[in-house]
Structure 1
Amino acid sequence: MYQRILVPVDGSATSGRALAEVIKFAQQHKAHVEVVHVLEEIGYFDEENYLNYAEMVDSLRRSGEKILAEAQMKLKQAGVPVETKLLETNGERVAHVITAEAKNTQADLIIVGTHGRSGFSRMLLGSVAEGILRTADIPILLIRGG
């Protein structure tokens, strides 16, 4: 039933739990997995040029590539066909970038970790998982963090 699964990862323990579930799910369904990491555009106020913005973005890109490589290794070790992709927001919301990628790759299912924040922290930080729920037109499996 589910042949193409998309899973976003960010290196957190919660996305690690989602990845573990993806492995089990993909093995049971003999599915192909696409692991994505989204680089979020960073706005900053640095009138004095204390930050090297290009260096910071390069560091974030290397970190994202490392997160993807680790996820790819886990899936390959489990015998799950996998591909990875580093995505960028370019001013869009992270959730929209993820759902657009799912649509572009014709994913059947998105499996995503959720921190389960509520109240003020949810309002302040937002929720990528909630954004995916609101914008995706395919099934979503949420994996709660520990």
Structure 2
Amino acid sequence: MYKRIVVAVDGSKTSDKALDEATKLARVMNSIILLLHVCEEIPIMWEPDGLHMVLMRNSLEAVANAGKELLEKHKIKLTEQDMTAETKLVETYDGRIGSVISEEAQQWNADLLVVGTHGRKGIAHLLMGSVAEAVARSASMPVLLVRNN
């Protein structure tokens, strides 16, 4: 049985589908859900000499605030369905989102980790990478990959 389910959410239709699937499981198994959002966007601007990137502090704050709003929206939705939910926002901008998701799930003692996957292949996969693939490779608990199709 899965009593502690982590769901990675990012505001996409695919992560919404993953949350729907996790909710179905949690309802049947009387589980608690951790809604996890990892701030992944890197708001930058180039310095005039073009050699250095500068993180834009206001943009970082905006990204974090958008993540907080997303988590709160999902938590309210689950609470209205009599589900137990917690939220966690992680700010990391080093490009290893999949590993961060897996590490957070492990620290929370998750029994199951649920993530959405776009199912990209070929060049799209090569160029954009796959957070879901990184999660599946690095997770220490079972991973449920949910496609939005």
Structures share fold, TM-score greater than 0.5 = yes
Match of 1:37 in 2: 37
Q: 2:81 aligns with which of 78, 81, 91?
A: 78
How far the C-alpha of 1:41 sits from its partner, in A, is 6.0
Distance 1:63 1:140 in 2: 26
- Please provide the CA RMSD for this pair: 1.8
How far the C-alpha of 1:62 sits from its partner, in A, is 1.1
Q: How does 1:7-22 map to 2 (within 5 A)?
A: 7-22=7-22
Distance 2:43 2:70 in 1: 23
Distance 1:124 1:112 in 2: 20
TM-score with structure 2 length normalisation?
0.91
Distance 1:52 1:97 in 2: 20
More strand by share: 2
Q: Percent identity?
A: 41
Corresponding residue SS for 1:61: helix
TM-score with structure 1 length normalisation?
0.92
Runs of 4+ in structure 1 over 6 Å off: none
Between the two proteins, the alignment pairs up a number of residues equal to: 145
Alpha-carbon distance change, 39 to 113 in structure 1, aligned in 2, over 3 angstroms:
same
Are positions 1:119 and 2:126 aligned together?
no
Are positions 1:59 and 2:47 aligned together?
no
Segments of 5+ residues of structure 1 without an aligned counterpart are: none
